[in-house]
Amino acid sequence: MTRISFRGAAASDAEAICQVLRSVSDLRADDPAWEQRRGAIASSAWQWRVGIADGRILTVVQAAPSAVWFGRSRIRWADVGDVSVVPELQGRGLGSQAMTDVVEWMRAAGYAVTRLGGLTRFYSRFGYQSFPRQYVEFPVYRTIRAGALRLPFPETIKPALKYDGQVRSFDEQRDAPGAWEVAETFTLHRTGCRVFERPAPGSLSGRPAVVFEQGGRVRGIAAYRIYHDEVSAYEAKVTAYQLAYEPGCPEALDALVKHLLRLAYSEGAGRLTALLPPDDAMVADLGRLGGAWNLCQTSEQVAGNMIQILSLRALLECIEDELSDRAGRVAWRGSVCLDIDRERAALAVERGTVALANTQDAEVTISMSQAEMLRMVLGIMPPVWPAKVAPDHPAYAAMAALFPPLSGGFNT
């Protein structure tokens, strides 16, 4: 096995990082995207880890920071991507060394959770576990059967709500302030949603997006992608990766979804998928659109979405304020020990406060996997903890109040 040393990248490493990425992809030096990628890497060099031997960069990994809402609290998160090894040294354990390094680095840097997408049998070696994705699927048919009638699909996706607005192409210079305000408001404190960060100017160039404009202002935005074919369970030929609208404005959702359905129909797609947070408010608005839609949850076992709790204690510290807010609805006073794979931590619950406690003093212990713990935190149905606590135990009602199902649902 070739031994290499690791360090954080510098802006001056951007060209070498690009060279490694180019060697394992179809990115060409004469492609305009090459210069854009190099510039993006240089400006975010602190997110990259590089493996070096004899002065040459042989491996690269990006750990992009973000945050995910848990009510009003933020979970400190890192997404791992672009795990790459120069072709001539693949199969010699360098990728494993690079992953071990980046996981240790993220844990030391204080991240609570990390996510990636990839081959399960490889990434599970480093503590990652398969984790479901939630999304909304809208079937697209050539015709719809209505008893003895056959209705052309375009007739079934007419606006369900009355409005005088319009859907049009996104103009970054004109629409960005209003669109980003909508996206920010839409995700704010919504459990499972990413904490919205406004994109850098020009970052959406070349990416298709539309807005719903009403009364002279942007009230909804949808950024989407059209593929040659189906990509995954949650990525159809036409997939909306960002769909946001003003609270109390379901007509924006109606207009944007119907626009994308017409697009999917014209592309010959069998469905439209959208990464929407499937909470109660969203389900209520979807119910006003008419037509068919499915709330989907998928977990891909060969390859797909994977998570790891880097530090249970760090995760609980991240969500302590929101848990304390919810504790106001809890009459029970006591402590619960959470036994999550390799780590244990306890929460002391009193009316109006939740705090980390000594595990030895806990009145009840709940053992679960990392994936089960995050399902509980992110409100993903079905909740896993009820089977682990006796319904007549006082901690049962406390856990139900602290970690309610369908409070949001991870959708990114």
What domain range is 53 assigned to? 5-129
How much is the pTM?
A: 0.91
Looking at the structure, tell me whether residues 181 and 58 fall in a common domain: no
44 and 16 part of one domain:
yes
Same domain, 291 and 316: no
Domain boundary among 66, 100, 129: 129
Q: Quick: pLDDT tens for 285-314.
A: 999 999 899 999 988 888 889 999 999 999
CATH code of 49's domain: 3.40.630.30
Q: Per-residue pLDDT tens for 67-109?
A: 999 999 999 999 999 999 999 999 999 999 999 999 999 999 9
How many other C-beta atoms lie within 10 A of the C-beta of residue 61? Answer: 26
Q: How far apart are CA 299 and CA 130, in angstroms?
A: 7
* pLDDT tens profile 4-30: 999 999 999 999 999 999 876 766 666
Whether 96 and 172 share a structural domain: no
Task: Write down the mean pLDDT value for the chain.
Answer: 92
Asked if residue 160 and residue 72 are part of one domain, the reply reads no
Q: What is the pLDDT of residue 146?
A: 83
Other beta carbons within 10 Å of 273: 27
Span 316-327, average pLDDT? 96
Task: Compute the half-sphere exposure of residue 257: CA atoms within 13 Å on the CB side of its CA.
Answer: 33
Residue 306 in any domain: the answer is no
Q: Tell whether 189 and 234 lie within a shared domain.
A: yes
Q: What is the pLDDT of residue 265?
A: 96
Please determine, for residue 393, whether its predicted confidence score (pLDDT) is greater than 80. yes
pLDDT digits (tens, 9 = 90+) for 156-203: 899 999 999 999 999 999 999 999 999 999 999 999 999 998 886 766
Whether residues 39 and 169 fall in one domain: no
Tell me: do 35 and 92 sit in the same domain: yes
Residue 351 banded pLDDT, cuts 50, 70, 90: confident
pLDDT one-digit tens code per residue, 261-286 = 999 999 999 999 999 988 888 999 99
State residue 371's pLDDT score: 94
Q: Would you state the structure tokens that stand for residue 162, as one six-digit string?
A: 């009355």
pLDDT score at 27: 63
Is the predicted pLDDT of residue 205 greater than 60, yes or no? no
**Residue 125 and residue 100 share a domain:** yes
Say whether both 240 and 222 belong to one domain.
Answer: yes
The residue with greater pLDDT, 70 or 381, is: 70
* pLDDT value, residue 344: 97
214-259 tens-digit pLDDT: 999 999 999 999 999 998 889 999 999 999 999 999 999 999 999 9
Query: Is 266 among the domain residues?
Result: yes
Residues whose CB falls within 8 Å of the CB of residue 46, separated by 6 or more in sequence, listed in order: 8, 9
Burial of 30 (0-12, 13-18, 19+ CB in 10 A): exposed
The predicted pLDDT at position 300 comes to 83
Q: Report the CATH number at residue 321.
A: 3.30.1050.10
CB 49 within 8 A of CB 98: yes
Mean pLDDT of 31-54: 89
Q: Is residue 56 domain-shared with residue 145, that is, in the same domain? A: no
How confident is the model at residue 287, as a pLDDT? 94
Overall number of domains in the chain = 3
